[in-house]
Amino acid sequence: MTAESASSPRPFHYPQPGSALHCGKVSLDALARRHGTPLYVYSADQIVERLRMFDEALAGRDHLVCYAVKANSALAIVKLLADKGAGFDIVSGGELERVLAAAPEAAGRVVFSGVGKTAAEIDRALTADILEFNVESEAELELLAARAKKLKRKTRFALRVNPDVFAETHPYISTGLREHKFGIDIRRALAIYRSVAGHRWLEPHGVSVHIGSQIRSADPFGAALERLNKLVRQLRREGIALKSVDAGGGLGIDYHGGAFDAAARVREYAVAIDRALEGFEGRLLLEPGRFLVAQAGALVARVLQVKRNGSKTFVITDAAMNDLIRPALYQAYHEIVPVKRRAGRPRTVDVVGPVCETGDFFARDRKLAPVEPGDLVALLDAGAYGMAQSSNYNTRLRPAEVLVEGGKARLIRRRETMADLLAPEML
């Protein structure tokens, strides 16, 4: 990694030869000494910059960026984005509570997605007066109508339609085909909208789509939005004028540390969407998550041992799969770098954690710069689906989290204690 520049996709850099890795102007070594390890570190400046990219690229169209809270639900990050005018895409009642706790004024900028909303979750969202529900089945629409009637609150909804667009990504995070559990077949949507036209408690407000995650080409987004726009035009001809189109999220990043022009990627995405929505004058909603926060975050870990076992060398860290499960779950790649560089040639190693599972690894047969016990390493691009998917497996305490803004760092989540873990249990 080289010194940080305006075109750098990450905020992590070595300011000068011999210095420790920094997040912005703050040394990761100093943060680890102060807060311990494993430790999540995020750049507030990077997150805000990524949000700005979307707003600039879509300046010619009425739009709202609804951050996908599932990517990283830290209250401080939710508040940071809310203060910059972002909306929020939530997939659970718990995520709604996080938005309301961090930024209650943002309730009207919330869209509620997800295939299994409960009556209690719907009631809470209705009373909070969120922007719209992204409805994923006819049964859910019936439930929404019943809850709206009971609470006497007319509610806005969008059908999440399944456009049957293939997105080349990991099968676990592809969501736009007919065989997936998400959404409603786009061929059924017209009849469903017709069936609720004039409903006392339901307002057909928009239409929604989400075809998957970590998609690197703008073409699938354009294809999906073209199909949505065709549906919108059909509905308009029948007197049903939708006010919003939700393009979902899914714009990917480069986890391998290569050349990556984030602003150019957003502009390409915006052009594809704008072209697909020609003639639509309503509001565009979009739901980026990973693209906003992934490269803004790193997981800092300390090397416990360097173990040689036959022909293999294992670098064992104090972070584990419970702290960052993406490599074990998705075979995901995260670049790993030493916080302080040593002289010497890279070695081929497995970087693993102490959890009692063979699947507890961060990298296999990876060329890694020399490290020794006691050294710190940083697992990059860990700001999305890192802490959000963490667990207490093996009764391990989850990491602390730090947010860096300019030259200042602040603790936004303390490290868990054993008392925290045992508190809900009874003998």
Catalytic residues: 356
DSSP per-residue codes, 348-384: EEEEE-SSSSTT-EEEEEEEE----TT-EEEEES-SS
Contact predicate 174/150, CB 8 Å: no
C-alpha 118/C-alpha 178 separation (Å) is 24
Alpha carbon 62 to its chain centroid, in Å, reads 23
- Edge-to-edge, what's the strand order for the sheet holding 26-27? 12-13, 22-23, 26-27
Other C-beta atoms lying within 10 Å of the C-beta of residue 118:
11
Contacts of 132 (CB under 8 A, 6+ apart): 111, 112, 155, 156, 157, 158, 205, 206, 244, 246
- How many CA within 13 A on the CB side of residue 156? 19
Tokens read off for 10: 């990450």
**Is the peptide bond between 171 and the residue preceding it cis, with omega within 30 degrees of 0?**
no
Looking at residue 21, its amino acid is L
Q: Scanning the structure block, which residue is given the tokens 């401080």?
A: 76
Contact predicate 184/148, CB 8 Å: no
Burial of 331 (C-beta count, 10 Å sphere; 0-12/13-18/19+): exposed
Other C-beta atoms lying within 10 Å of the C-beta of residue 241:
11
Pairing mode, if any, of strands 184-185 and 312-317?
A: unpaired
